[in-house]
Amino acid sequence: MSDLPRILLIGSDGQVGWELRRTLAPVGQVIAASMHGHAGPPIDLLDASSIRRVFNDVEPDAVVNAAAYTAVDRAETEPELARAINADAVHVLAELCADADIPVVHYSTDFVFSGDTDHPYRETDEPAPTSVYGETKRAGELALLDSAADALVLRTAWIYGVRGRNFLLTMLNLFRERTELRIVDDQVGTPTWSRMLAEVTAQVMHAVFTGAVDIKQVRGLYHVTGGGAVSWYGFASAIREATGNDCELTPIPTSEYPAPARRPPYSVLDTSKFRATFGLKLPDWRHSLALCLEDLPQQPAPRA
């Protein structure tokens, strides 16, 4: 029988959850739950009784919730489904963790802000979501922050990695298929490698379990992203350069790439509170991109 604390990881088959299964393994006994139950017990986030049943069966010492409805544009036509996963399920977890007196880590998003600014957002800045996705993620934040649970809500942004659907993998596929691409250049944020986010989460959980930090003193909201800032066009250009592709990139305004959900034009998050509280470094996005690309299978040579 393991003496390690039991960590209930929800959303273990997502791109962040997949990394968390690995980074949390040295910290605790990870019980991975997901909608499909590929790695552990199935959990239906649309059913409160399913959430409670899995929680009671696992009897966790902590919960890490990496599950979310992240289809930003589709959420505009599926608001009830987005709210059920991003807010209602989180409310159930908040109650369970508060009653059990255990910590819970939850991830949120830069979409809780309007983006109508020119300075990095701090945790004290007032959210003003302009999309269903952003609204439901904000509701999930409040479900935890307004509860009695010892919650760490980690806002992040522009997640990418070697799995799932994300900007990096989309660009690599398009570079192989096309000779020219038009990329939005007036939305600015910070690319965040899913593994880096998982690694700092594991560091934080280790500090909590060992008593290096008092969860009741540090509970609350934190911004966690890579360092620096860049536009989508700049990010695409960096990927192209790092992979030796010759696809021609043209910067365009958001107005030339309309989408159902409004994107924040500027959503850089100030991470100084997280770094000061936990004593952790958040590498520049360029450094993380280089490391992530080393994990990808060898890319085919660019077309002649």
Question: Nearest Cα to 271, choosing from 251, 252, 285, 291?
Answer: 285
- Contact predicate 143/151, CB 8 Å: no
257 annotated active-site: no
- Contact predicate 218/103, CB 8 Å: no
- HSE toward the beta carbon, residue 56, CA cutoff 13 A: 8
**Structure tokens given for 177:** 């298929």
- Provide the phi-psi class of 37: left if phi over 0, else alpha when psi is between -120 and 50, else beta: left
Look at the block and give the residue holding tokens 């409310």: 91
For CA atoms 201, 203, 204, 209, the dihedral sign is: positive
Task: Give me the catalytic one of 133, 160, 233, 266.
Answer: 133
Catalytic positions: 133
